[in-house]
C-alpha cells in the first residue's frame, strides 16, 4: 500500500480511473477531449486538462515499469530514422524494433550523423543490457560508422527491403502526429512516443494470426500486466 500512496498521493480520483484514462489515450488514436467524453459517459466528470496531467505524470512511470517487467526484447534489431517537424524545425526520430515488431526504444534528435547514431546505439545497449545478434538498417552511412566504434562484432545487414519492418513501425507515429497537429517540443515527443510504444508492445497481439480463444487469453494477460504496472 505504501507504493500506491506514493504514486497517487494528492489525486482525488482512484488509481483505476487515472490508469484507465492514460490507457485510453495511448492505446487508441484519441484526443484528451475524446477521453474526457468517454469517461463522462461512464459518469466520471473530469476535465481534459486533468487527463493531460495524468498522462504526463503517470505515463512515463507506467512505461518504465512495463519495460522492467518485459525484460530484454528480441536479439535482432531493425533500426530506422524518420523526420518530424517540431516548432518549424526539422528533427529526426530514431527507432529500433525487434524481429517481432516490438519497439525496443526511440530517441528524438536534431541530427542523423555519426554522433547521433552512436548516442542511439548506447541508449539501446543500456536499455537491453546486451548487444544484438544481428542489426538491420538502411544504407545511411551514420549507422556503419557508429557501429564500427560501438558494436564492431555485430553483423550488419543493409540489403534493400530488409529494413521494411522498421520503416512500417513509423506509421502509428505519423497517425498520432497528425491527430495531435504535430509535436510541440522535443521533450513532449520523446515522452509521448516512449509511452505510446511501450503500451503498443503490450497490447499489439496480432489478432489475425491466432484463434479467437488464444487472442482473448493473451489479451487477458496483457490487462493483468497493465494492472500490475499501474498498481490499479
Name all domains of the chain by residue range, CATH numbers in brackets: 2-70+204-230 (no CATH), 76-184 (3.30.420.10)
Q: What is the pLDDT of residues 45-84, one digit of tens each?
A: 999 999 999 999 999 999 999 999 988 899 999 999 999 9
- CA 196 – CA 200 distance, rounded (Å): 6
- CA 187 – CA 101 distance, rounded (Å): 25
Query: What per-residue confidence (pLDDT) applies to 231?
Result: 86
- CA 36 – CA 47 distance, rounded (Å): 6
Could you tell me the pTM of the whole model?
0.90
Q: How confident is the model at residue 5 (pLDDT cuts 50, 70, 90)?
A: low
Amino acid at each position: 500500500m505504501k507504493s500506491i500512496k506514493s504514486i497517487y498521493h494528492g489525486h482525488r480520483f482512484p488509481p483505476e480511473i487515472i490508469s484507465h484514462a492514460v490507457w485510453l489515450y495511448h492505446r487508441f488514436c484519441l484526443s484528451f477531449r475524446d477521453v474526457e467524453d468517454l469517461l463522462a459517459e461512464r459518469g466520471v466528470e473530469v476535465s481534459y486538462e486533468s487527463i493531460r496531467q495524468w498522462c504526463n505524470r503517470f505515463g512515463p512511470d507506467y512505461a518504465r515499469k512495463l519495460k522492467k517487467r518485459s525484460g530484454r526484447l528480441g536479439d535482432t534489431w531493425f533500426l530506422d530514422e524518420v523526420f518530424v517537424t517540431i516548432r518549424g524545425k526539422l528533427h529526426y526520430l530514431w527507432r529500433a524494433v525487434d524481429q517481432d515488431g516490438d519497439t525496443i526504444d526511440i530517441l528524438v534528435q536534431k541530427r542523423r550523423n555519426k554522433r547521433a547514431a552512436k548516442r542511439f546505439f548506447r541508449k539501446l545497449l543500456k536499455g537491453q543490457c546486451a548487444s544484438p545478434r544481428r542489426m538491420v538498417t538502411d544504407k545511411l552511412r551514420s549507422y556503419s560508422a557508429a557501429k564500427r566504434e560501438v558494436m564492431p562484432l555485430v553483423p550488419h545487414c543493409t540489403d534493400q527491403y530488409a529494413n521494411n519492418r522498421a520503416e512500417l513501425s513509423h506509421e502509428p507515429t505519423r497517425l498520432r502526429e497528425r491527430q495531435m497537429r504535430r509535436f510541440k517540443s522535443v521533450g513532449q515527443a520523446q515522452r509521448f512516443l516512449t509511452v505510446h510504444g511501450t503500451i503498443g508492445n503490450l497490447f499489439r497481439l496480432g489478432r489475425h494470426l491466432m484463434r479467437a480463444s488464444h487472442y482473448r487469453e493473451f489479451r487477458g494477460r496483457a490487462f493483468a500486466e497493465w494492472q500490475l504496472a499501474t498498481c490499479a
